[in-house]
Amino acid sequence: MRTLLAFVIIASFAKAETILYRAAAIHPADSGVIINGQMLVKDGEIVAIGTKLATPEVFREIDLGKLQVYPGLIAATTSLGLTEINAVRATQDTSEVGEFTPDVEAWVSVNPDSELIPVARANGFTHALVAPMGGTVTGTSGLIKTDGWGVEDMTVKSRVALHMMWPSLSINTTPKETMRDPDKFKSPKEQAKQREKKLLDIDRFFDDAEAYAKARKQDAAFKLIPAWEATLDVISKKQPIVIHANYEQQIISAVKWSKKRNYQIIIAAGLDAWRVGELLAKNNIPVVLDNVFRLPQRDTDPHDINFRSAGILHQAGVKIAHSVKMGNWGATEIRNIIYAASRSMAYGLPRDVALKSITLHPAQMLNADSKLGSLTKGKEASFIATDGDLFDIRTNVKRMWINGKEVSLESRHTRLYEKYKNRPKPKGLRQ
């Protein structure tokens, strides 16, 4: 009983405590690096950041020595927590069936004990957007922190964005006789008709949604329809739509559509985005890239085009974030998002933008930048301490705080590592 009491006291005390962190360098992300920096945190909030901070009378000091401090990293589009093992269907909660399912909510089904979450955390990711896959309008995403006891505890922001998988607009040109299933062959003309219909379906859906929104506004007692209800924030421009689209044709079509409807959109995936940088910049549409580590699409593309894509987009004036692909593979690879950003950096993206692309930019895109994304007075103290340049693979994340609380960097991987590192040598083996 006494111990428990003591714990409660310490916990509440810790919360109220003011802590001064010192580090060899602090990278706030929204301003230049602070060498021998200091950061003052109170109640989980950053109160000051700089070099020689004025401190209150009572405070604790944590000297991080040679470590460097960065904001907690944010993975902008993921299936984290919705998937465990790709080949085991029972562990998949990533994709729902149906073309239009806006009322599907992704964050509520995050498995808080997924082994994938601590692995992402171990390399600096404090937050991830969990989004649904499936048909065309797949549902709504939520932002989670990568530490917590349960879903409610971990949810930082629900209803972040509506997600759409933009229909494929490419003509399948495979000749009939070389198709695996020749009966499925459709002529380019037929396919062109089909894709027009798909786009028409999207418009019809949102026409109806807008009509519903109007009706609801005028008549609060109007019959509640969950699907339309889930689109209200998009229609009132409180919420962006994340449109997942890779190819030039899709991106152009999505941009035109958003202009026509006056919706706020974010392009995710964005394989071909570099080809339409100007269009995206002009319309102020940010891009979440998940294609840095992918082979070029065309046989005339430079071999390094996807490494250069982020730099080209930045040059054109587009705000970019780096993330992973949706689905299981991406969820296991969140820890490598940093290296997508460093690849882009090696191929032309300025260092400060590379850092923003995994911190401030995703926070801004997801309307979470009032609290997250950079180390600035008034924001949450969610940050990491590394033993070197974040963008170097050889660097390790040594400590992490989320909202002022230090969290563990242990994972399935470190546990197995410790266990088998200490395995005694078996007897009787020949040398």
Which residues are at the interface with other proteins (CB under 8 A)? 84-88, 115-116, 119, 169-171, 173-178, 180, 188-189, 191-192, 248-249, 252, 293-296, 298-304, 325, 327-329, 332, 335-336, 339, 342-343, 345-347, 391-396, 412-413, 416-417, 420-421, 423, 425-426, 429-431
Q: How far is the CB of 73 from other proteins (least distance, A)?
A: 16
What distances in angstroms separate CA 301 from CA 261, 272, 294, 297, one per listed residue? 33, 11, 12, 7
CA distance 159 to 139: 9
Token pair 């916990």 in the structure block, residue: 11
Closest CB 178 distance from other proteins, rounded Å: 5
Q: Which is nearer to other proteins, 57 or 177 (CB)?
A: 177
Q: How far is the CB of 193 from other proteins (least distance, A)?
A: 9
What DSSP character marks residue 380?
Answer: B
Ranges of H-type helices in 17-170? 116-122, 151-154
Residue 392 CB, shortest distance to other proteins, in Å, is 6
| Closer residue to other proteins in complex, CB, 186/237 | 186
Whole-number minimum distance, CB 267 to other proteins, in Å?
17
CA–chain centroid gap for 225, Å, is 29
- Which is closer to other proteins, CB of 249 or CB of 315? 249
Minimum CB–partner distance for residue 426 and other proteins (Å): 6
Nearer to other proteins by Cβ, of 2 and 260: the residue is 260
Report d(CA 263, CA 203) in Å as an integer.
12
Q: Under DSSP, is residue 378 helix (H, G, I), strand (E, B) or coil? A: coil
Note whether 115 and 84 are within 8 A (CB): yes
What is the smallest separation between the CB atom of 332 and other proteins, expressed in angstroms?
5
In the bound state with other proteins, the residue whose beta carbon lies nearer, of 262 and 431, is 431
Question: For residue 105, what are the CA distances in angstroms to 89, 122, 164, 240, 320?
Answer: 20, 26, 13, 15, 25
Name the E strands within 208-308. Answer: 241-245, 265-269, 287-289
Smallest distance, Å, CB 43 to other proteins? 34
Nearer to other proteins, 127 or 343 (CB): 343
Q: Residue 301 CB: number of other CB atoms within 10 A? A: 14
**What is the spatial distance between Cα 140 and Cα 161, in angstroms, rounded to a whole number?**
6
Give yes or no for a contact between 11 and 344, defined as CB atoms under 8 angstroms apart.
no
DSSP state letters, 76-110: EEE-TTSBS-TT-GGGB-SB--SSB-TT-BSGGG-
Q: Give whichever of 8 and 88 is closer to other proteins, judged by the CB atom.
A: 88
